[in-house]
Amino acid sequence: MRRPTPTATEAAIPFAFEPALSVGDVDRLRAAFATRAMAASTRRALLGDGRLFVSWCGQTKRPAMPASRETVEAFLAAAAADGRSAATLRRYRSSLAWWHAAGGFANPCAGSAVAVPVPKPDLADAAMAALRTFMEVAQRGYAKATLRATEADVRLFAGWCGPQGLSWLPAEPATVRRYIQEIGGSRKPTTVARYLASISLIHRAAGHTDPCRHWSVTLERRGHARAVGSERRQAAALTDAVLAPILNRLDPAQPDRRKPLRPIDLRDRALLLVGRDTLARADELVALRWADLHPVDLALNPDARPGEATIRIRRSKTDQEGQGAEAWLSAEAVAALTAWRAVAPRWPAEQDGEGPRIREGAFLFCHLSRSGTGERMSPAAVRCVVERRTGEANPLAVGFSGHSLRVGAAQDLLAAGVDLPGLMQAGRWTSPVMPARYTERLRATRGAVARVRRGKDERN
């Protein structure tokens, strides 16, 4: 008997679409997850780890529920090769064991070994010494994220070559081609392209011939892209319509509010509004400073309204040299920042002979947790804020990330009639590729075919 299509509630369970599971199996998983008492962080970890495992099994064509011991070991080995820590691997095992127990299946993790993360390559030989020198010099010429990605990719490639007795520096084109073949089943074409760029970079830095420029490697990469497909997943758009109920929940001025908002609520509301107005990326958002916030001069700006301000984005992905750019903030965003600033924590200043003083944090947004405050949030924390707040407003909300504010604002601007050059200026894009991708679905509804067909329908 064919199992019916899962409902939206069932789809929230990571294993809901597994063909081997019946309706009863999915109901049992959903009931166990909904009724068993656990901490919120544990619940998030179970969902995240389950989704990661299901996604990996789908890419490698393996059943995820019930999973075999060999599947779990292969998953842990792949996670270790990606740089996951031993503690994270143990958490993956615990999560998979919990899901199988909840579904009434045997534990596939019993007795499976936790793979050890690949150690950093030895920097003893002359080639690696040259690479180390390059990395030290590159600290000033490359973005930190690029250097972190390069180091991670190097470790992954070296860890794959080592057990097979293959040289990774210098590497032969046949080695790189085989590397693409073996990892390609669980990697997207963009990820493979990044791996090859890192391998190419370390060979050029160490003075070796670049194996990635060989025709066989180029054809293998193209073949992988054709087989897997190059479609990129886009973050769900946090448009004004989606954002409105979230902001209302966090508005201290709501007349029917029964208890005052917590500092974290005021911080999150300000963060969402500033992200919406500035179209800032997550790393740009957490780098904003109070010193760069300035009210708009109404005498010089007759179109401005009271309460508006500007804030300087000192550095961005497309402005690595730090020329900076000014972004506009609405009166609503400035009011939210004012409410947050009134309750934001303060940090003790250095001793100056007159006793300790209290100063404000330099950055707009700081961490607030039981373990203590931090003067600056991380980009990953922005993603957590977006996921948590969208989940509170809609428990079935999926696909939102730290980039959702930028995507949603771009779509709102296009819907309001802003042209592509204006959109690029607002989001500080140097190429039309990304804003065009963010607004692709909306532009399709306003394209030539849609306009012509609507006109014919109106005449008929």
Residues 177 and 37 occupy one common structural domain? no
Instruction: Specify if 354 maps to a domain.
Output: no
- More confident site: 361 or 238: 238
The average pLDDT across 225-230 equals 75
Residues 20 and 51 occupy one common structural domain? yes
- Cα distance between residue 281 and residue 314, in whole Å: 12
Residues 337 and 402 occupy one common structural domain? yes
> pLDDT per residue over 167-214, tens digit each?
888 889 999 999 988 887 778 888 888 999 989 988 888 788 899 999
- More confident site: 330 or 84: 330
The strand pair at 325-329 and 309-313 is best described as antiparallel
Name the domain boundary from 53, 87, 102.
Answer: 102
Instruction: Specify if 115 maps to a domain.
Output: no
- Cα distance between residue 431 and residue 437, in whole Å: 11
Domain count, the chain: 3
Output the domain CATH number for residue 182: 1.10.150.130
Q: Look up residue 205 and give its amino acid.
A: A
Instruction: Specify if 250 maps to a domain.
Output: yes
Residues 208 and 279 occupy one common structural domain? no
| Tokens read off for 256 | 């029917």
Residues 302 and 336 occupy one common structural domain? yes
Confidence of residue 232 (pLDDT cuts 50, 70, 90): low
> pLDDT per residue over 272-289, tens digit each?
999 999 988 888 898 899
> pLDDT per residue over 245-255, tens digit each?
899 888 887 77
| Tokens read off for 367 | 């961490």
Residue with tokens 């957490």: 286
Name the domain boundary from 183, 207, 228.
Answer: 228
- Range with the largest mean pLDDT of 1-15, 276-290, 434-448: 276-290
The number of helices, as runs of H, and strands, as runs of E, in the chain is 20, 5
Residues 330 and 432 occupy one common structural domain? yes
Q: What is the DSSP string of 377-405?
A: --HHHHHHHHHHHHHHH-TT--S--TTHH
Residues 219 and 248 occupy one common structural domain? no
Instruction: Specify if 27 maps to a domain.
Output: yes
Output the domain CATH number for residue 253: 1.10.443.10
- Cα distance between residue 114 and residue 442, in whole Å: 46
Residues 160 and 254 occupy one common structural domain? no
Residues 245 and 156 occupy one common structural domain? no
The average pLDDT across 14-32 equals 82
Is 90 exceeded by the pLDDT of residue 270?
A: yes
Residues 324 and 394 occupy one common structural domain? yes
Q: Burial code of 169-197, b = ≥16 C-beta within 10 A, e = fewer?
A: bebebebbbbbbeebbebbbbeebbbbbe
Residues 59 and 164 occupy one common structural domain? no
293-295 β-sheet, strand order:
293-295, 309-313, 325-329
Residue with tokens 């006109």: 455
Confidence of residue 115 (pLDDT cuts 50, 70, 90): very low
Model pLDDT, residue 338: 92
> pLDDT per residue over 359-409, tens digit each?
667 888 988 876 556 678 888 888 888 888 888 888 777 788 888 888 888
Residues 199 and 138 occupy one common structural domain? yes
Confidence of residue 443 (pLDDT cuts 50, 70, 90): confident
> pLDDT per residue over 176-186, tens digit each?
999 988 887 77
Instruction: Specify if 427 maps to a domain.
Output: yes
Instruction: Specify if 2 maps to a domain.
Output: no
The answer to whether 240 and 200 are in contact (CB under 8 A) is no
The answer to whether 351 and 359 are in contact (CB under 8 A) is no
The average pLDDT across 439-453 equals 73
Provide the CA 248 distance to its chain's centre, in angstroms.
Answer: 25
| Tokens read off for 336 | 């939210």
Instruction: Specify if 142 maps to a domain.
Output: yes
> pLDDT per residue over 33-75, tens digit each?
887 777 777 888 888 888 888 888 887 778 888 888 888 888 8
Instruction: Specify if 275 maps to a domain.
Output: yes
The answer to whether 403 and 307 are in contact (CB under 8 A) is no
How much is the pTM? 0.61
Q: Which of 161-165, 222-226, 306-310 has the lowest mean pLDDT?
A: 161-165
Domain span including residue 291: 240-345+360-445
Q: Look up residue 145 and give its amino acid.
A: A
- Cα distance between residue 366 and residue 353, in whole Å: 28
